[in-house]
Amino acid sequence: MKTNHFQSQSSPRSVTDQCKRGDIERGLEKVIVVDTPGLFDTKTVSEEIRKEITKCITVSAPGPHAIIYVLSLQTRLTKEEDDAFAEMELMFGKELYNYVILLFTGKDMIDREIDVFLAELPPFFQKVLKKCKHRVIAFNNFDKTSDEENKIQTDNLFKMIDTITSSGKRKYFCNQFIADTEKLIKNEIEKLYQKAVSDGTSKDPNVLRSALRDQIRDNILIEGNHFKILWRYVSNFFQRNCSIL
Q: Splitting the chain (245 residues) into consecutive groups of 10 residues, what average pLDDT does each group show?
A: 48 57 80 74 61 77 86 84 81 87 90 89 92 93 75 91 82 82 88 93 91 86 80 74 52
Exposed (0-12), middle (13-18) or buried (19+): which is 202, by Cβ within 10 Å?
exposed
Residues 73 and 138: their CA atoms lie apart, in Å, by 9
CB 15, CB 35: distance < 8 Å: no
pLDDT of 30:
81
What per-residue confidence (pLDDT) applies to 245? 45
Question: Domain 20-167: what homologous superfamily?
Answer: P-loop containing nucleotide triphosphate hydrolases (3.40.50.300)
d(CA 205, CA 197): 9
Q: What is the pLDDT of residue 7?
A: 47
Chain centroid to CA 150: 21
Give φ, ψ of 83 to 5 degrees: -65, -40
- Supply the pLDDT for residue 142: 62
Pairing of strands 136-139, 100-105: parallel
Return residue ranges of the chain for CATH 3.40.50.300.
20-167
Q: Report the alpha-carbon distance of residue 243 to residue 89 in Å, rounded.
A: 12
pTM: 0.76
DSSP letter, residue 56: H
**Is residue 107 a contact partner of residue 75, using CB atoms and an 8 Å limit?**
no
Displacement of CA 228 from its chain's centroid (Å): 21
pLDDT at res. 6: 39
Contacts of 243 (CB under 8 A, 6+ apart): 87, 90
